[in-house]
A and B are shown apart, each in its own frame.
Chain A
């Protein structure tokens, strides 16, 4: 059995660590590229959301490297993701690929159900499973911590690209690290390097929050590297979702004291009182949360035709009126031209910067008339 899984941001590092820790042979699909997308678009239904198209491309490219089994999460509720596993299996069968599909449904009660699902796949001892889970979890947390730091530095660095270089190296090292100690020391080294990146102290930094559908906010290929673009424009970015907090909320039952989307769900009321599928309610609640935390702007990202996010989008202007923080929605689909995206981001960052620093610049306003 050679096992693979769809890409979603840095998920592959933890997923690979977990599966390899269970003595399974893992094929990580090649990083998402235009080729991945083209393969997916060719075989996906026209109006399906973007993640499915990229998933299909991942599977086809992984098959070329010998993968024969796919592991993917299931889901429930009105979001189409819950049906991805079935649909993707049908499409891969039609294309003549001989894939087995293992679906991890979200646990009803506790993490123990996930462990049981894992035991059904991997015949290994409980101790081994716990070790694998621990390493994967550690990698997941460390990756997120480094990423948070990179999001801060990107906005401030005097020479764009330095932070991303360190980040890329760190990810590579974390992937190949085996032991907890190693991972911790990589983290320390990455932080040291990031702290030494020369920054421009005069830059007027704005803080932008990204909210929206999980796949498009976590996978840089799907969102056209929106975080890098924002960083270059001098915007410090924070997302409503990080992989570690998502795992904690959805697989570990929220036992660890990490930032949770539960609070976002609570803050969604009275704007949205129901679960509308996907991350619709989290998007609304996170917009409220970030507004109150003093962010200067909020950008919602979602795949075109995403139902839950369309519901959220309709509510966001209301939040803007009552909370006073500007919101912009960007839909992602198979377009690869970046000009339109960059114009919108630049205008948005410009606007938030002028709002934030307008008092200081009041003489300029006079100059402009």
Chain B
């Protein structure tokens, strides 16, 4: 069966999906990046191949798309037909799942986005600019501080009787407010519900500033798993919030759709290197270029001792020469 692969390498999680020619999801995978994107991609490929085999399916990869902050790295490792930013990928996935969607709220590990869609085209978007308060990492951190698994943490908010007021502007302020309320004797569910309200308020004031939020509204990204956050959005926007079934892998799904579009449109053969890429030896070497006082941190990616790609330089002297340098030995 012909299928398309989408890979989303985010700061916190790495997601891989496979869709068939009609866009139906065949297989999905959500694993932690753990700060090691190359290993995560290799591990992901291996797991998804095992999953396919275990289900007795045979697939032929006809196209690959990558997205997320590690999209470029993932693309050179697996061989991708499309490398796309997260905004486009998430919007495409949301449009596929909820026809007529006008607003996409996406909150991931490090950033939060708001995408405004009108007439099937992204017409405006915003991303958190200066601070990461209210993103998945902060919620993770708070759950760990309270010694609660994140799943339990997310459900506790629903039991709140009287949510307390927590400052949402900055995660440091939020944390000191939470500690103050906890030491005053407020119960945990009221504090967590208060935190969710604060984060939603912060999101709407910061990311949603000046944007027209119209229904249908889709909420996706890792944080959409958090029932407290869903409820807080429902309350703040006073309307129904749609959380799609595959909310946690929407970026990867979007990348897969985009790969399908590119391959079909250009009638091209995929550059996917195959599942056995996982056995290849990838190494990353970095050095500080001393050509000028910018001291750029140049990164070199090696595949089986050959330079695959280089980036990180401002002037382009390393990036643009990597084509000819494929034969450089690794020592």
Contacts and interface: CB of A to CB of B under 8 A. Distances in A.
Contacts of A328: 126
Interface stretch (B84-92, B172-180, B223-231): B84-92
Interface string A314-345: 10111011000010111100000001000110
B293 A331 contact: no
B64 to A, nearest CB: 17
A369 interface: yes
A314 B316 contact: no
Given A33-B293, A317-B210, A365 B85 contact: no
B314 A339 contact: no
A293 to B, nearest CB: 20
B39 interface: no
Contact of A34 (B88, B257, B265, B294): B294
Nearest to B127: A344
A153 to B, nearest CB: 16
Nearest to B91: A351
A346 B69 CA distance: 12
Interface in A333-368: 339, 343-344, 346-348, 350-351, 354-355, 358, 364-365, 367-368
Interface string B78-121: 00000011111000100110010000000000000000000011
A320 B320 contact: no
A364 B261 contact: yes
Given A34-B294, A225-B314, A343-B86, A351 B261 contact: no
B211 interface: yes
Contacts, number: 84
Majority SS of interface residues in chain A? Answer: helix
B87 A347 contact: yes
A225 B314 CA distance: 9
A368 B85 contact: no
Given A347-B125, A355-B123, A367 B295 contact: no
Given A368-B95, A369-B23, A314 B122 contact: no
25 contacts: A30-B293, A31-B292, A33-B292, A35-B295, A317-B210, A317-B211, A329-B129, A343-B85, A343-B127, A347-B85, A347-B86, A347-B87, A347-B88, A347-B125, A350-B87, A350-B88, A351-B87, A351-B88, A351-B121, A351-B123, A354-B121, A355-B122, A364-B265, A368-B261, A369-B95
Interface of B: 23, 69, 84-88, 92, 95-96, 99, 120-127, 129-130, 209-212, 257, 260-261, 264-265, 292-295, 314, 316, 320
